[in-house]
């Protein structure tokens, strides 16, 4: 039978501590909160009262329930008042020695059955537990900010934590309406370990000038559905806070990917801490303001970069698959005349039929008029001859993801397409420069990576190898914006932006599971509930396909040779066993075949 927690203590009434007090009191539990002095105690009570009043104002809490909640909370400046509580949660500033002092003092004050929990986001629970006389009764209980709102609680076990203690704390979190996940004692636990490694890599991309801040953020928002881009999120968290978390992770793991990107220390030294200082990766209207204002790093809108742009009126599409069909539809709907080159007349007609079907759905939903449908279809002309692409201003190759096949297409295009036309490849993983090398006009070749389905997904990665002429990049950026897509610019290296940030994170999650650090369900829950991601890593891997994911991870590893990019053996074993995800009915999870 689970332990009953009738009375709990919270040490520290800052933003997190006050939020944790509110969570317990909302759950009907009597709470004793302790602060270092009366001024801090009064400020903590003000924070609690303001938070609960906001809940009332937003109709999230009844006025009578607020009064009852506040009545369950007593605030003290004396640790002795915690002598008879069932659980104490420490929420003091993130300094190991300070937290250790609190635990040592609690060990002398509290009864022998009291459980000790730390709200630390990155420090070692084991190191804190050994400062007490009861290390088997110490756990991490990492709430996320704001604690009354965020569902995730990471319950952290050490090698000596009593299983019953772990179970009792986990069930307590459930009773409070939270979604607890259990993990081992590793810096960053689940969410921060995966999140900050990804954020640090994004900072490194910015620091190396591989991609601009707006493009990095837009790529992850539009390409992965993330609620915020990595650099905007770093500004929100605070660069000093992020640096401390990464530094703590690195000191424990010695993993080079956890070593804070050097630019972080430079920015912190210069006082560029993010939103709270009014400037970080972005510039804000005022310290603490979320409003971003333009600065000298803000790029001009597409088409306004200055310099020459090439005229584009007629667009060619090579290929007849799902991606090619979607690309042809997008251009035709935006007013471009489109020539689709197919291997057979039947395949060409299949593209037209696919576009017609998509447009019919838009008409039925009231998103497109019948005349708009007919005008769009009239702009699409299928052909089986490369010669019919001769007059195109832009040709987009969308054939199979095979370098030899693509190079053959580019060789054929080079022979027939007029000089000055732009040749683009939709590759998601192959080197664009290899396609350019198959032509006598490498300066006219660029990557134009649409995301599937092309008719819906807003992001297009524009990939410029060292051979691409600047006016080609500028022209394709403007054309991409003209078809209602969001262009982002990057260099020609494996993964471009999205895959280069996404798949190392997915690989890290797989390695975490392989090490029995946490379960797949808990890791997925941590990233969804703690970081607001649309899917957890294992749910996403099963959707993408484990074989596809493995191929991308291998290409990233071969390009960068970073040890942490080497595909986790567990992923390789699942692929070898034929467990490829949803498409085979089995991956990291089993799915009911229909």
Q: Is 142 a catalytic residue?
A: yes
Helices 370-378, 345-364: inter-axial angle, 10-degree rounding: 160
Sheet holding 115-118, edge to edge: 73-76, 30-34, 7-11, 87-90, 115-118, 138-143, 152-156, 179-183
Distance CA 48, CA 51 (A): 5
Which one from 35, 51, 119, 142 is the annotated catalytic residue?
A: 142
Candidates 174, 210, 3, 177; CA nearest to 86 is: 3
Tokens of 122: 């990155």
Distance CA 436, CA 446 (A): 8
For residue 154, give the 3-state DSSP assignment: strand
Distance CA 238, CA 133 (A): 36
Which one from 22, 90, 154, 434 is the annotated catalytic residue?
A: 154
Q: Is 154 a catalytic residue?
A: yes
Q: Quick check: 20 and 149 in contact, CB under 8 A?
A: no
DSSP type of residue 379 = T
Distance CA 174, CA 17 (A): 19
* Placement of tokens 């400020």 in the chain: 43
Tokens of 394: 């832009």
Distance CA 540, CA 545 (A): 8
Q: Quick check: 494 and 501 in contact, CB under 8 A?
A: no
Distance CA 340, CA 332 (A): 11
Per DSSP, the chain holds a count of helices (H) and strands (E) of 23, 18
Q: Is 345 a catalytic residue?
A: no
Q: If 0-12 CB within 10 Å is exposed, 13-18 middle and 19+ buried, where does residue 253 land?
A: middle
Tokens of 211: 């991609």
For residue 447, give the 3-state DSSP assignment: strand
Which one from 51, 118, 119, 121 is the annotated catalytic residue?
A: 121
Distance CA 115, CA 111 (A): 9
Which one from 118, 192, 200, 507 is the annotated catalytic residue?
A: 192
CA-to-CA dists, residue 134 to 34, 139, 165, 185, angstroms: 21, 11, 12, 17
449 φ, ψ (degrees, to nearest 5): -85, 100
Tokens of 383: 């052909």
* Cα 179 to chain centroid, rounded: 20
Here the contacts of 581-590 (C-beta below 8 Å, separation 24 or greater) are 581/541, 581/542, 581/543, 581/544, 581/545, 581/546, 582/542, 582/543, 582/545, 583/545, 587/538, 587/541, 587/542, 587/546, 588/513, 588/520, 588/538, 588/541, 588/542, 588/546, 589/520, 589/538, 589/539, 589/542
594 CB-near residues (< 8 Å, 6+ apart)? none
Q: Sign of the C-alpha dihedral, residues 240, 241, 243, 247?
A: positive
Tokens of 390: 């001769």
Distance CA 257, CA 246 (A): 9
Q: Which residues are catalytic?
A: 121, 142, 154, 192
């Amino acid at each position: 039978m689970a332990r009953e927690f009738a009375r709990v203590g919270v040490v520290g009434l800052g933003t997190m501590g006050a939020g944790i007090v509110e969570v317990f009191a909302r759950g009907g539990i009597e709470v004793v909160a302790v602060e270092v002095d009366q001024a801090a105690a009064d400020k903590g009570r003000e924070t609690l009262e303001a938070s609960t009043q906001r809940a009332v104002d937003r109709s999230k809490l009844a006025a009578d329930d607020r009064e009852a909640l506040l009545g369950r909370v007593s605030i003290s400046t004396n640790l002795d008042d915690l002598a008879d509580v069932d659980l104490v949660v420490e929420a003091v500033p993130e300094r190991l020695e300070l937290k250790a002092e609190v635990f040592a003092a609690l060990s002398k004050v509290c009864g022998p059955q009291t459980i000790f929990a730390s709200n630390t986001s990155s420090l070692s629970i084991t190191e804190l537990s050994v400062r007490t006389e009861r290390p088997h009764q110490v756990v991490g209980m990492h709430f996320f900010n704001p604690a009354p709102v965020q569902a995730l609680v990471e319950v952290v076990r050490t090698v000596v934590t009593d299983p019953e203690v772990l179970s009792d704390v986990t069930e307590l979190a459930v009773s409070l309406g939270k979604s607890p996940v259990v993990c081992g004692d590793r810096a960053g636990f689940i969410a921060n370990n995966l999140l900050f490694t990804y954020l640090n890599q994004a900072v490194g991309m910015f620091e190396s000038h591989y991609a601009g801040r707006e493009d990095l953020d837009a790529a992850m928002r539009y390409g992965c559905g993330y609620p915020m881009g990595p650099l905007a999120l770093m500004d929100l968290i605070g660069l000093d806070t992020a640096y401390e978390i990464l530094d703590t992770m690195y000191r424990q793991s010695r993993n080079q990917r956890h070593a804070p990107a050097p630019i972080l220390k430079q920015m912190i030294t210069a006082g560029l801490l993010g939103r709270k200082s009014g400037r970080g990766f972005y510039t804000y209207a005022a310290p603490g303001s979320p409003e971003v204002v333009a600065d000298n790093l803000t790029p001009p809108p597409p088409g306004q970069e200055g310099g020459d742009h090439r005229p584009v009126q007629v667009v060619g599409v090579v290929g007849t698959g799902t991606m090619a069909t979607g690309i042809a539809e997008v251009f035709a709907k935006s007013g471009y005349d489109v020539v689709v080159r197919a291997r057979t007349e039947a395949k060409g007609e299949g593209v037209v039929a696919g576009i017609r079907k998509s447009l019919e759905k838009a008409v039925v939903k009231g998103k497109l008029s019948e005349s708009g449908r007919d005008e769009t279809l009239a702009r699409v002309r299928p052909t089986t001859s490369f010669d019919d692409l001769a007059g195109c201003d832009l040709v987009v190759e969308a054939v199979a993801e095979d370098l030899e096949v693509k190079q053959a297409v580019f060789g054929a295009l080079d022979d027939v397409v007029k000089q000055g036309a732009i040749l683009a490849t939709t590759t998601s993983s192959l080197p664009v420069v290899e396609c350019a090398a198959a032509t006598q006009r490498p300066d006219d070749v660029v990557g134009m990576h649409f995301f599937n389905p092309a008719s819906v997904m807003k992001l297009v990665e524009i990939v410029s190898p060292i051979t691409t002429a600047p006016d080609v990049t500028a022209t394709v950026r403007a054309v991409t914006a003209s078809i209602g897509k969001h262009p982002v610019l990057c260099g020609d290296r494996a993964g471009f932006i999205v895959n280069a940030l996404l798949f190392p994170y997915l690989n890290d999650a797989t390695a975490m599971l392989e090490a029995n650090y946490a379960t797949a369900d808990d890791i997925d829950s941590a990233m969804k509930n703690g970081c607001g991601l649309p899917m957890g890593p294992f749910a996403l891997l099963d959707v993408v396909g484990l074989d596809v994911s493995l191929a991308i991870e291998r290409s990233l590893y071969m390009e960068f040779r970073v040890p942490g990019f080497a595909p986790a053996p567990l992923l390789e074993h699942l692929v070898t066993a034929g467990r490829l995800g949803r498409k085979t009915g089995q991956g990291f999870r089993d799915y009911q075949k229909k």
